[in-house]
Amino acid sequence: KAGVTQTPRYLIKTRGQQVTLSCSPISGHRSVSWYQQTPGQGLQFLFEYFSETQRNKGNFPGRFSGRQFSNSRSEMNVSTLELGDSALYLCASSLGYTGGDSPLHFGNGTRLTVT
């Protein structure tokens, strides 16, 4: 069974640009969550989608948005990039809601560098 796949693996963007990251969950998983990982702030929850609906949202500005498609694949978009957005963005999928009995399965992440 294929794991969670995130593309691209690395990305370099310039301040002010926008970026879209992609996540393909494990087959059959309906929940996709996104996390930002930085050395200073650690792992911070961005949002969770379940069956194409945003179920939960962290404390990030509106520049961060996401969506989930009918095949459970998810995309995350960051507009008007800032230097502080440089981070490892991790996607995780699970069969059911986060917090239930279904564990999260993480992808290897997308490393975004904003210059």
Partner 1 sequence: GNSVTQMEGPVTLSEEAFLTINCTYTATGYPSLFWYVQYPGEGLQLLLKATKADDKGSNKGFEATYRKETTSFHLEKGSVQVSDSAVYFCALTDSSYKLIFGSGTRLLVRP
* Helix, strand or coil, per DSSP, at residue 84: helix
Dihedral (CA of 44, 48, 54, 55) sign: negative
Tokens of 47: 């949002």
Binding partner 1 (rule: CB under 8 A), the pick from 43, 52, 71, 84 is 43
104 in contact with partner 1 (CB under 8 A): yes
Interaction mask 54-83, partner 1, x per CB under 8 A? -xx-x-------------------------
Q: CA 38 to CA 23: how far, in whole Å? A: 19
> Would you tell me which residues interact with partner 1 (CB under 8 A)?
4, 33, 35, 42-43, 45, 48, 55-56, 58, 90, 92, 97-101, 103-109
